[in-house]
A and B are shown apart, each in its own frame.
Chain A
């Protein structure tokens, strides 16, 4: 068997794993820009050390290990902040996200179905928040609602989606349920 071109192999694996890896980082670093930076750094490290990756072994697990180190490195590098999570907390969350990787991927698939069933005002608030990347303050005039009302609406949508996914997954036939 001719060995495949490593760059091609890397891109192939990365394409498959980049999304879950990005989500993994965000469970520890909810701040979007920081999470993106960490993911990019992790990808550079992964490529640099790709020769050490054993083909056929779990690329996702390998990538998560590197990404976790980048999360810690990022935390060390930046100015300490009273809001920063402790290393113990990060470790516990990383372990949980690592263990639940299949479960979370499952949830994400069902999430898409649940999204489609949302009422229009719920979808609109998600569109503005996640697609247009607006802050709650910027959303207020667009929706003609107060920041507090939008905050409560987003909270409701978030819980509603989480419940929908949980309930759907708990049914034997995975039929959509709200």
Chain B
């Protein structure tokens, strides 16, 4: 019989040969007899092989929390050719044709996993959280990546609409509901500047913190919801478990348990009571504006309104009778521009406090969305009131308001820029809104009860196969025409 330490050395040497060297039939026989004959050796063998597997998985597999590459840090660059990485999902699983349909959602989810692994391999910044999933999300300028699967470092996430699920390295999960502004501070702490989130905090992440303008929430094992605004007001609902809320201004320190809630202002933290109804997230906003302000909704199809688009003379004919097309390419500039006229007579000269223009985009069928980069659009207001009398029937490239002969762009002496919006790469549909003080001011100073807006795509795309963007005009069968929602100033 050999001594325990001899057996151990022999087993380790056999494992080395098994994993990296020339493992022989004799080696196999010896390894088997060691492992079958001694529980200690069996354990050691499994530990060594498991470590081998873990090292391999850290380097290349799905769902790794921390990749080998992250940990190897300052080493030589990882391979830049993507082939190693793309080859990860093994094909046989997907080749089984009978399963294709049933696996479609699984495939999609696994691909998200592949994305995660990819990011793990390619990013080196300290990662605090992962953007696990997004639904119908639109982002405003965020200081961190907003690609699904992105590894997130310190930074701000500004979600304009939709929801985004963020998994912190601690394990805490946050579903952010747009519009919202969340700042990531550490792997277990975030700052909710505004908006709503629902958090799920599993055991290892207890102590998860959400800071707000006027307070901080410390989790003691919960699911909870928070809705906060930038002026320091917030509501907290504990769905299950317990949270602690610290409110430095009042010195209050409150513990809430399942079904309890609290509301916060910069000055006060009021204790929660059992709420049977759903949280009223906009209660604050209503408190602030008790007297209902008059709101008007106008479309380009009401009154003397109209909507049309024009085509530059030298461009190939594309025609849509339901969508207003917008396109721009570097050679010829605004190849398609859209014109909107709103009838403002129902305003009766009252000033506009707030104005939002909403356009409903839909795939035009011209070009490929995939080939379109992120696109910026600009809304101009025509300042020359004498140009408000156009009609869709006779609008041409050259007689259109604020026409500039220089490449067909907008004449800056007869129109002003009122706002912009951006559509992400590859996106050609969805509702987009411009809500700026400039737009409200422009509509307030109108002289002849009519306002003409011009919508152009500022981003010029050289690729001829890129999509032509289009949004619903007055004749779209289902989508609403361009719509202005106006809040009138108090009289």
Residue from A15, A30, A93, A107 in contact with B52 in the complex, judged by beta carbons closer than 8 Å: A30
Distance to closest chain B CB from A63 (angstroms): 15
State how many residues of chain A have any CB contact under 8 Å with chain B: 60
Q: Are B71 and A112 closer than 8 Å at their CB atoms?
A: yes
Contact with B along A1-28 (1 / 0, CB 8 A): 0000001101100010011001100110
Query: Is residue A47 within 8 Å, beta carbon to beta carbon, of the partner chain?
Result: yes
Distance to closest chain B CB from A91 (angstroms): 10
Residues of A within 8 A of B (CB): 7-8, 10-11, 15, 18-19, 22-23, 26-27, 30, 32, 35-37, 39-41, 43-44, 47, 82-86, 88-89, 92-93, 96-97, 100, 104, 107-108, 111-112, 115-116, 120, 123-124, 126-127, 129-133, 136, 151, 154-155, 158-159, 161-162, 165
Across the interface, name the chain A residue whose C-beta is closest to B109.
A11
Q: Are B92 and A97 closer than 8 Å at their CB atoms?
A: no
Residue from A108, A132, A133, A136 in contact with B20 in the complex, judged by beta carbons closer than 8 Å: A136
9 pairs from A and B in contact (CB 8 Å cutoff): A15-B109, A26-B49, A82-B25, A100-B47, A107-B50, A126-B72, A127-B59, A131-B121, A155-B12
Query: Is residue B57 within 8 Å, beta carbon to beta carbon, of the partner chain?
Result: yes
Distance to closest chain B CB from A66 (angstroms): 14
Q: Are A158 and B48 closer than 8 Å at their CB atoms?
A: yes
Beyond A124-B76, A127-B72, A133-B84, whether A18 also contacts B62 by CB under 8 A is yes
CA distance A126 to B59 in the complex (A): 9
Contact with A along B28-46 (1 / 0, CB 8 A): 1000100110010011011
Q: Are B93 and A83 closer than 8 Å at their CB atoms?
A: no
Besides A15-B113, A26-B53, A37-B90, 16 other CB < 8 A contacts? A7-B103, A11-B105, A32-B56, A39-B90, A47-B102, A92-B42, A93-B42, A93-B46, A104-B46, A107-B54, A111-B55, A115-B58, A124-B75, A130-B60, A131-B78, A162-B47
CA distance A88 to B93 in the complex (A): 29
- Residues of chain A lying within 8 A (CB to CB) of residue B75: 120, 123-124, 127
Distance to closest chain A CB from B227 (angstroms): 26
- Residues of chain B lying within 8 A (CB to CB) of residue A112: 58, 66, 71
Query: Is residue B285 within 8 Å, beta carbon to beta carbon, of the partner chain?
Result: no
Beyond A11-B105, A40-B92, whether A30 also contacts B54 by CB under 8 A is no
- Residues of chain A lying within 8 A (CB to CB) of residue B32: 85-86, 88-89
- Residues of chain A lying within 8 A (CB to CB) of residue B18: 30
The 6 tightest CB contacts between A and B, nearest first, are A23-B53, A26-B53, A131-B59, A82-B25, A27-B49, A40-B93
Q: Are B47 and A83 closer than 8 Å at their CB atoms?
A: no
CA distance A89 to B15 in the complex (A): 15
Chain B binding site: helix, strand, loop or mixed by DSSP?
Answer: helix
Q: Are A131 and B46 closer than 8 Å at their CB atoms?
A: no
Beyond A30-B18, A44-B99, A162-B47, whether A15 also contacts B63 by CB under 8 A is yes
CA distance A112 to B64 in the complex (A): 11
CA distance A41 to B106 in the complex (A): 15
Q: Are B62 and A83 closer than 8 Å at their CB atoms?
A: no
Across the interface, name the chain B residue whose C-beta is closest to A154.
B20
CA distance A72 to B381 in the complex (A): 73
Q: Are A19 and B57 closer than 8 Å at their CB atoms?
A: yes
CA distance A110 to B251 in the complex (A): 40
Q: Are A23 and B68 closer than 8 Å at their CB atoms?
A: no
- Residues of chain B lying within 8 A (CB to CB) of residue A32: 56
Q: Are A131 and B60 closer than 8 Å at their CB atoms?
A: yes
Query: Is residue B141 within 8 Å, beta carbon to beta carbon, of the partner chain?
Result: no
Q: Are A108 and B50 closer than 8 Å at their CB atoms?
A: yes
Beyond A27-B46, A104-B50, whether A89 also contacts B35 by CB under 8 A is yes
Q: Are A100 and B43 closer than 8 Å at their CB atoms?
A: yes
- Residues of chain B lying within 8 A (CB to CB) of residue A92: 35-36, 42
Distance to closest chain B CB from A41 (angstroms): 7
Across the interface, name the chain B residue whose C-beta is closest to A128.
B76
Query: Is residue B21 within 8 Å, beta carbon to beta carbon, of the partner chain?
Result: yes
- Residues of chain A lying within 8 A (CB to CB) of residue B71: 112, 115-116, 123
- Residues of chain B lying within 8 A (CB to CB) of residue A22: 53, 57, 61
CA distance A85 to B13 in the complex (A): 17
Q: Are A40 and B90 closer than 8 Å at their CB atoms?
A: yes
Q: Are A19 and B16 closer than 8 Å at their CB atoms?
A: no
Beyond A47-B99, A154-B20, whether A41 also contacts B92 by CB under 8 A is yes
CA distance A127 to B71 in the complex (A): 10
- Residues of chain A lying within 8 A (CB to CB) of residue B93: 40, 43-44
Distance to closest chain B CB from A124 (angstroms): 6
Residue from B24, B47, B66, B72 in contact with A107 in the complex, judged by beta carbons closer than 8 Å: B47
Q: Are B16 and A115 closer than 8 Å at their CB atoms?
A: no
CA distance A22 to B113 in the complex (A): 15
CA distance A55 to B92 in the complex (A): 28
Q: Are A131 and B52 closer than 8 Å at their CB atoms?
A: no
Residue from B57, B60, B72, B79 in contact with A123 in the complex, judged by beta carbons closer than 8 Å: B72
- Residues of chain A lying within 8 A (CB to CB) of residue B64: 19
CA distance A18 to B90 in the complex (A): 14
